[in-house]
Amino acid sequence: MKQPDDPNTQPTPESGQPNATPGGRREIRDHEYRQRILSAARTLLTTQDLESVTMHQIAKESGVGQGTLYRRYPHIGDICSDLIKSTTQQFVGEMEERYGSLGPDDRGLAVLETCLRDFITFVDKHVSPLAMISSMHAADKRHHTILQKPFFVRLHGLIVPLLERAVAQGDIEPLDVTLTANIILLSLMPEPYLFHKNNLGYTKESFIDGICRLFVKGL
| 32-71 tens-digit pLDDT | 999 999 999 989 988 887 778 999 999 999 999 999 999 9
- Would you say 9 and 2 are in contact if contact means Cβ atoms under 8 Å apart? yes
Q: What is the mean pLDDT of residues 84-112?
A: 93
At residue 153, the pLDDT reads 93
pLDDT band for 111, please (50, 70, 90 cuts).
Answer: very high
At residue 173, the pLDDT reads 94
Crossing angle of helices 76-99 and 25-47, in 10° steps, is: 80
pLDDT at 147 over 90: no
Give the DSSP per-residue string, 37-84: HHHHHHHHHHHS-GGG--HHHHHHHHT--HHHHHHH-SSHHHHHHHHH
pLDDT band for 20, please (50, 70, 90 cuts).
Answer: low
pLDDT at 15 over 50: no
Q: What is the mean pLDDT of residues 187-208?
A: 94
pLDDT at 159 over 80: yes
- Would you say 109 and 166 are in contact if contact means Cβ atoms under 8 Å apart? yes
- Would you say 92 and 119 are in contact if contact means Cβ atoms under 8 Å apart? no
Give the DSSP per-residue string, 141-191: TTSPPGGGSHHHHHHHHHHHHHHHHHHHTTSS----HHHHHHHHHHHTSHH
pLDDT at 6 over 60: no
Q: What percent of the chain has pLDDT over 90?
A: 58
pLDDT band for 170, please (50, 70, 90 cuts).
Answer: very high
pLDDT band for 203, please (50, 70, 90 cuts).
Answer: very high
Give the DSSP per-residue string, 106-140: --HHHHHHHHHHHHHHHHHHTHHHHHHHHHHHHH-
Compute CA 34 distance to the chain's CA centroid, rounded to the nearest angstrom.
18
pLDDT at 96 over 60: yes
CB atoms under 10 Å from CB of 179, counted, come to 9
d(CA 219, CA 217): 6
> DSSP code of 218?
-
CB atoms under 10 Å from CB of 99, counted, come to 18
